[in-house]
Chain A
Amino acid sequence: MTGPHVNRIAIRNHPTYWAFVLHRVSGLALAVFLPAHLYVLSLAIDGAVRLDGFLHWAEYPLVKAGEVGLVVLLAAHLAGGLRILAVEFLPWRDWQKTLVAIGAAFALGVGVLFLLRAV
């Protein structure tokens, strides 16, 4: 449909839309990560040396930081999924922003806990 090019951010810039975007992006990122995760697990079958080699590499700070990001994405996707289930299967609640905030706080909290354990 041909139409005017207007600022699309204006209509999308609100908490429940950002929650949708985060849920999608985290889902896609995790889908990309999953094959890599399974590949690393498969190294254990080939032999302990290769797996240990990888685990050693995983101790580098940058990789650890990436791991924290991954954990935050995983927690965000979990919280986002639970939020969607609540929206679709429980009676409607008007405090939708609070639901989003709880989800975000959960994801960041899990990330912080993981970081504390990692360092």
Chain B
Amino acid sequence: MSEPEPQSETQSNRMLTVDIWRGDAEDGAFQTYEVPQMESQTVLDVVTYIQRKLDPSLSYRFSCRVGMCGSCAMTVNGKPRWTCRSHVDSVVENGRIQVAPLRNMPVIKDLATDMSVFFDKWQKSKSQFVPTDGDASEFAVVDPTSKERKAASAGIECIGCGVCYAACDVVEWNPDYLGPAALNRAWTLVNDSRDGDAEGHLRAVATDAGCHACHSHQSCARNCPTSLNPTASIAGLKRKVFAAALKGRL
């Protein structure tokens, strides 16, 4: 008598109806698939199931599967999310899930977007660290309890997944807007005591498409998977830019 095969996944008889966006930058439509519902199943598991078992032509992007790389973000039932950290149980509505590519970025194919516009804006916001000590001959002594360091530390855990950028209406209304992630990065540098060009960072974001374009909707903060608050960072930049402008430094 042979041993029954060990079950690696707990599969229920329930089926999930999944609407997946299929198309490219020009055109597309939602296509519906039926996927067996499983215990502890994530939305990424669902997308992977469709690609491996139902339709190998489906394109999507993922890497680590554990919420560290930020490459699997998609729009799930209208909200941008890391699909690897989104349990089906927490997002399913009447047995149905809709998965679409991230908003505000051109679609390459299906669920994969071209994120270069998002990363180009990190460059435009001059978010490169400018060392004060060029050869780093000494260890920088940073007081972890200082107000500036606390402000910088509050924003540094961004992994560049693009969820905030996709959640932001201002990005949609003004395609030049630098967006929450790039501005949040600028705020961490402005508050970094080791950075030598705070005014340069402020000048780069003190434009019509910079920090002042933010309407403080706070959709970025609401959707950030790492619970960062780009709106607070942008509000900080507005205050710093205002103060610097009053002093004639911009």
List chain A positions with a Cβ less than 8 A from chain B: 1-4, 6-12, 14, 16-17, 20, 84, 87-89, 92, 94, 96
Residue count of chain B within 8 Å CB distance of chain A:
37
**By the criterion CB–CB under 8 Å, are A6 and B78 in contact?**
yes
Q: How far is the CA of A33 from the CA of B69 in the complex (A)?
A: 52
Query: Of B23, B25, B79, B101, which one neighbours A10 at CB under 8 angstroms?
Result: B79
Contact B78 A16 (CB under 8 A): no
Given A1-B106, A2-B26, A2-B27, decide whether A12 and B218 contact each other with a Cβ distance below 8 A.
no
Q: Contacts A87-B235, A92-B236 hold; do A1 and B104 have CB atoms under 8 A apart?
A: yes
User: A7 vs B78: C-alpha distance in the bound complex, in angstroms?
Assistant: 5
How long is the Cα–Cα vector from A66 to B200 in the complex, in angstroms?
Answer: 51
| Contact B235–A88 (Cβ < 8 Å) | yes
* Contacts known (A8-B78, A9-B78, A10-B78); A88 close to B238, Cβ less than 8 A: yes
* Chain B residues closer than 8 Å to A92, beta-carbon distance: 229, 232, 235-236
Interface membership of B98, Cβ < 8 A:
yes
- Alpha-carbon separation in the docked complex, A1 to B105 (Å): 8
CB neighbors of A among B85-116 (8 A)? 98, 100-101, 103-104, 106-107
Asked if B119 CB lies within 8 Å of chain A CBs, one says no
Chain A residue with minimal CB distance to B168?
A: A11
Q: How many A-B residue pairs have CB under 8 A?
A: 73
Q: Chain B contacts of A84 at CB under 8 A?
A: 216
Complex: chain A residue closest to B29, CB-CB: A4
Chain A: minimal CB distance from B94 (Å): 14
Contact call B235/A11, Cβ cutoff below 8 A: no
Of A3, A9, A17, the residue contacting B218 (CB under 8 A) is A17
Bound state CA distance, A88 and B98, in angstroms?
36
Q: When the two chains form their complex, are residues B77 and A7 in contact, meaning their CB atoms are under 8 A apart?
A: yes
B217 contacts A16, C-beta separation under 8 Å: yes
Binary A-proximity of B223-244 (CB < 8 A = 1, otherwise 0): 1000001011001101100100
Contact of A2 among B25, B215, B232 (CB under 8 A): B25
Determine if B191 is an interface residue (Cβ-Cβ < 8 Å). no
B4 to chain A, nearest CB (A): 43
| B107 A3 Cβ-Cβ under 8 A | yes
Nearest A-chain residue to B167, judged by Cβ: A11
Alpha-carbon distance A31/B215, docked complex (angstroms): 20
For the complex, is B30 an interface residue (Cβ under 8 Å from A)? yes
A10 to B103, CA, bound (A): 13
Q: Which residues of A contact B77 (CB under 8 A)?
A: 7, 10
| B21 contacts partner chain A, Cβ-Cβ < 8 Å | yes
Q: How far is the CA of A10 from the CA of B28 in the complex (A)?
A: 21
Q: Which of B2-53 contact A (CB under 8 A)?
A: 21, 23, 25-28, 30
Residues of B with C-beta under 8 A to A11: 78-80, 103, 167, 169, 219, 223
**Least CB distance, A89 to chain B, in whole angstroms:** 6
Q: Does B75 contact A (CB under 8 A)?
A: yes
B217 contacts A17, C-beta separation under 8 Å: yes
- Give Cα distance in the complex from A88 to B216, angstroms: 9
Q: Which of A6, A9, A96 has the most CB of B within 10 A?
A: A6
Is B219 a contact partner of A14 (Cβ separation < 8 A)?
Answer: yes
